[in-house]
Amino acid sequence: MNSPTPLGPVEQNELLSQLTTIALDNAPEGWLRIFAEYRAVGNYVESGAGIKWPDGRVTQFALPESFWNLFWTLRAGMAGPETGTWVSSLFRIQQPDTYEVKFNREVEPRWAAEPPTAEFARELEMFPRTQENIPDWFRARLAGS
């Protein structure tokens, strides 16, 4: 298996700018906030996006596959040799085009469905972590509980 190409801060910011551009290009008129969530372990991925409107409503927002592929590139590129990579992220864009992103390496995401146990082992093959960098919840999932 090829090691992922590490991304420095400049390359990470370039990908985040591309994500912003894609979201803005696909957004309907009148939105207040766009948000996208990405959760992954091994090859198991959950993703979704929404829009918050000025009247407080929140609706689903379909983004092209290219948007989600950039998240995979970002996740792989942010992997550290001892710390693995993040398992979830929250990306938000506030009108007109200010973005913020939060990455989570430690806390178990709120999965929409139960990831297969085998994907937790695959995650460690793809993005190794030292023993001290494997959270307790992740160890429990490796054990099948």
| Cα–Cα distance for residue pair 41/85, rounded to 1 Å | 10
| CATH fit for domain 9-142, picks 3.55.40.20, 1.20.1260.10, 3.40.50.150, 3.30.500.20 | 3.30.500.20
Handedness of CA 52, 58, 61, 67 (dihedral sign): positive
Q: What are the pLDDT digits (tens) for 98-119?
A: 999 999 999 999 999 999 999 9
What does pTM read for this prediction?
0.91
Q: Using CB atoms within 10 A of its CB, is residue 115 exposed (0-12), middle (13-18) or buried (19+)?
A: buried
**By C-alpha distance, which of 89, 27, 81 is closest to 59?**
27
- The ranges assigned to domains in the chain are 9-142
**For residue 137, which phi and psi values (nearest 5 degrees)?**
-60, -35
Alpha-carbon span 68 to 132, nearest angstrom = 30
Query: pLDDT tens across 32-75, in order?
Result: 999 999 999 999 999 999 999 999 999 999 999 999 999 999 99
